[in-house]
Amino acid sequence: MPVDETALLAAAGRAFAGDRPAIIGVAVSGGGDSLALLHLMQRVAPQAGWRVEAATVDHGLRPEAAAEARQVAALCRDWGIAHEVLRWADPQGVGNLMDRARRARRALLADWAGRRGIGHVVLGHTADDQAETLLMGLSRSAGLDGLSGMRHAFREGGVVFGRPLLDIPRQFLRDYLTGRGIGWIDDPSNENEAFTRVRARRALKALKPLGITVGKLAAVADHLDMARSALEAATQDAARRCVTERAGAVLLDRAGFQRAPMEIQRRVARQALCGLVGPGYPPREAELNRILGVLAAGGKATLRGTLVSASGGEAVFRREWRAVAGVTARRGALWDGRWTVEGPWQGDEELRALGAAGLRHCPAWRDTGLARGILEVTPAIWSGERLIAAPLAGLSGGFSATCTPCFQS
């Protein structure tokens, strides 16, 4: 059956339509999905007004990967597309390999995009990936967030990532490439049943006679995503009423928080925790319930480098001292993954937590109205053991410090 190229080109052309980026980055592995995406993005580029650049991540997990990356680079040269190979330096870590590879891929792509001045990157996920993700969520008894599938767009590492082909079946892209005489690379790991996604892919074939198809499962994921979006909007609305952020800490009005529905309470608490420690795994059910218990009854608890304390009418989420005590950064780098510090740098200073010792050199810290524990885990500028400035503790020295908020304003 001939492929409807008009639909494919329209999907590619709608990528980031509201933003009108000058450059779009394409993550291309050499597989059929990402290669079709690259070709489509290059075709629509003149009319859309953008330039295309590409990057291939070599995870170093297979001996053939380096040669495959070179194949992609050669193809990009033929198509007149700037291309770079990004290599994962540490594939031997601990934890789920596929999940670590996915996180590393995004981080490498975000770093590449930042260096190239690219604010928008597209990924070649398809409706099949969406359906597989839904099945994988069902297999682990996931809640709404885990069943809502992949987002069409999200922001990470200062880059907007998009999935313009998320409603397109994988076979359509293979047929598109075949019709144009373009070959692609088949990753043998896509046949390895040790991976959950491969087993989900095969389960889809078994479900097809029941009428449970890729298209229908992808539609279900879209419906659930709309429900998720509504809950997220309600969460932000509740946060505007009961959350204040100061000096990197989240201050919670307990009475207002308790008036929110339980699911919204859970989401506010989870967002505060995730915002403080940065991207990664959200807290487990038991961990989150423990924190909610403290918020309701009062007391203190620690979780993944965050200290939560509740008394009277207020609860405070802040970084735990031992989580930041050894964190350092130099000029121009983020401190603790959240803080940007600007000022009259001389060249040899270092960003470290203020701590109790540093706070003793800030005579005006009480004028800030902030608790000692909050200020001790804010960034300070040090030269060796000499405190140069503590912007949040009343000793600015011409420096300023801004923190990525946990909640939308």
- DSSP-assigned states of every residue in 171-194: HHHHHHHHHTT---PPPGGGG-TT
Delimiting residues of CATH 1.20.59.20 domain(s) in the chain: 247-319
| pTM for this predicted structure | 0.79
Tell me how crowded residue 348 is: count the other CB atoms within 10 A of its CB. 10
Q: Is-contact 39 179, C-beta < 8 A?
A: no
Distance between CA 342 and CA 110 in Å, rounded? 23
Closest Cα partner for 374 from 276, 290, 279? 276
pLDDT digits (tens, 9 = 90+) for 318-360: 999 999 999 999 998 889 989 999 999 998 899 999 999 999 9
pLDDT digits (tens, 9 = 90+) for 255-290: 999 999 999 999 999 999 999 987 667 888 899 999
Fold assignment, 5-220: Rossmann fold (3.40.50)
- Please, which residues have CB within 8 angstroms of residue 179's CB and are 6 or more apart in sequence? 2, 3
Delimiting residues of CATH 3.40.50.620 domain(s) in the chain: 5-220
Pairing, β 350-353 against β 379-383: antiparallel
pLDDT digits (tens, 9 = 90+) for 124-174: 999 999 999 999 989 888 889 889 999 999 988 889 999 999 999 999 999
Fold assignment, 247-319: Chorismate Mutase Domain, subunit A (1.20.59)
